[in-house]
Amino acid sequence: MTTKTTWPLVRVLRDRDAGLCLSGVVVSGFGTSALWLASGVWVKDLTGSDGLAALCVLAMWLPTLAGPLLGTLADRGRRKPLLMGVNLLPAALLLTLVSVDGPGDLWLLYAVLLVYGAAGVVHDAAESALVARAVDPGLLGDFNGLRTTATEGMKLVAPLAGAGLCAAYGGASVALLDAATFVLAAGLYALLRVREERPAPPTGSGRQRTAEGARHLWAHPVLRPLVLAGGATMLCAGLNGALVYAVVDDLGHSPAYTGVLYAVQGAGSVAAGLLCGPALRRLGTKCFAASGIALLAPAVAFRAVPSDPVALVCSAAIGMGLPVVLIAALTSVQRETPGALLGRVTATANTLVFTPNVVGLAAGAALVELVSHRPVLVALGVVLLVTAAALRQSPARAERTLSRSSSDASPA
């Protein structure tokens, strides 16, 4: 890379507040990724039930559905103290999990994970708003790319560390580790030097304030097609993710080989995060997002080929292509939204983008029992190509095409 392209990345890393925000992402991301896997292992050890173990992930994801409402909290006051609070709250709650030692205590674990997920929704909305104020607008793409690199990097190491710690010392030890990472992240946010004015007193009801953010998102000619494309892409990604065990079985490997494919995918995402800033400036938001989806499309389709080298290449390409539309959408939200609305708009965008992923996972889990995974993967590749093409169209045509592609990706 030339000095010209690397210099913005260096500027982001040298910026004190940007560096602190990234450090907070790394620290809390490590704890969250560790708990994500360890909580399911913990429940499996206590009950022997796969279904009860899966409920841990559901509990953490469920608050995303209330994103537009929870996002209003990020616009009610200054974001820095709010970020500190939403790190300290789950840290305190995680300490209560040391008392979980049998199936009868699982209600407490699920309750903590539910609050944990809700705090995460508020955290992401507040962090997006604070970063938009702390980081130069021209460097937001670089920052969000580095954020993705940090997050995906933690996913490569933290789940294994969490699983190992859980196996050696029990699930409570992972909860204590996660609590410590939250406290450390709160301390990092406390060191930020961002000056924030107290927002004006809210007007109207909570429902009206929530709707205000949704209206801004839906009426914006840049944000709406990006969010629709992100939702369609994540729906396909969820369906694709649910088929990964069928792909591994088709390759003739044990289910443990799934970890290899996810590790390669994670490495691809780490690389994509480092390249996103320069690519976003060179291509523009819509073209950048469309290029990522266009890379994702054949990678998903060619997973139907039962070949180890092809599977590994496809996993790396999926890892590189999938984060692109997410980074493009988040960066555009930060650039195109007034600061007073940014928490609500970010949370609403996250709900519209990430909820289809959960739907896709559930639909894919049912679909794989009924039909062969190969034609489904090819069909998903076609839908993703349509989604990429739609982003290159005019806003009106793009919205119609994206709506049709989302419907086509849903199982009958």
What domains lie within the chain, and their CATH numbers? 6-202 (1.20.1250.20), 206-407 (1.20.1250.20)
Q: Say how far apart CA 48 and CA 183 lie, in whole Å.
A: 32
Identify which of 124, 144, 133, 135 has the alpha carbon closest to the alpha carbon of residue 71.
124
Which of 400, 404, 410 has the alpha carbon at shortest distance from 224? 400
User: Mean of the pLDDT values across residues 308-320?
Assistant: 93
CA-CA-CA-CA dihedral for 126, 161, 311, 270, to nearest 10: 40
Identify the sign of the CA torsion 192, 193, 194, 197.
positive
Give the mean model confidence (pLDDT) for residues 371-387.
92
pLDDT for 299 equals: 95
> Residue 133, class by beta-carbon neighbours within 10 Å (0-12 exposed, 13-18 middle, 19+ buried)?
middle
**Model confidence at 132, in pLDDT bands (50, 70, 90)?**
confident
The per-residue pLDDT for 412 is: 38
Q: Which two tokens stand for residue 47?
A: 């009950």
Residue 389 to residue 398: CA distance in whole angstroms: 8
Q: Contact, 194 vs 127, CB < 8 A?
A: no
* Spatial separation of the C-alpha atoms in residues 383 and 126, rounded to whole Å: 33
Q: Which of 72, 331, 82 is nearest to 211 (CA)?
A: 72
147-194: pLDDT as tens digits: 888 888 887 777 778 878 888 888 888 899 999 999 999 999 999 887
The percent of residues above 90 in pLDDT, for the chain, comes to: 27
Q: Residue 202 has what pLDDT?
A: 60
Cβ atoms of 352 and 234 within 8 Å: the answer is no
- The first and second tokens of residue 165, run together, are 């710690």
Burial profile 256-283: b = 16 or more Cβ within 10 angstroms, e = fewer: ebeeebbbbbbbbbbbbbbbbbbbbbeb
Report CA 174 to chain centroid distance, whole Å: 21
Residue 200 has pLDDT above 50, yes or no: yes
pTM for the complete prediction? Answer: 0.77
- Interval 346-365: pLDDT, tens: 888 988 998 898 788 778 87
Structure-block tokens of residue 183? 């406290």
pLDDT in tens, 7-60: 666 777 778 888 888 888 888 888 888 887 788 878 888 888 766 877 887 788
Residue type, 231: G
What is the 3-state secondary structure of 230-252? HHHHHHHHHHHHHCHHHHHHHHC
For residue 3, pLDDT beyond 50 = no
DSSP annotation string for 297-339: HHHHHGGGS--HHHHHHHHHHHHHHHHHHHHHHHHHHHHHS-G
DSSP designation for 191: T
Cα(349)–Cα(331) distance, integer angstroms: 11
The Cβ-side half-sphere exposure at 325, using a 13 Å CA radius, reads: 34
**According to the model, what pLDDT value does residue 263 have?**
82
More confident residue, 393 or 180: 180
Residues 6+ apart with CB under 8 A from 99: 105, 108
Integer CA distances (angstroms), 107 to 10, 90, 110, 113, 176, in order: 46, 16, 5, 10, 18
Q: Is the pLDDT of residue 5 over 50?
A: no
Asked if residues 289 and 226 have their Cβ atoms less than 8 Å apart, the reply is yes
Query: In whole angstroms, how far apart are CA 341 and each of 22, 123, 165?
Result: 23, 15, 41
Cβ partners under 8 Å of residue 370, min gap 6: none
Copy the structure tokens of residue 351: 């709900």
How high does pLDDT run on average in the chain? 83
Write down the pLDDT at residue 113.
92
Residue among 111, 329, 70, 353 nearest 220 (CA): 329
- Token pair, residue 89, equals 């709250």
Q: What is the mean pLDDT of residues 309-316?
A: 93
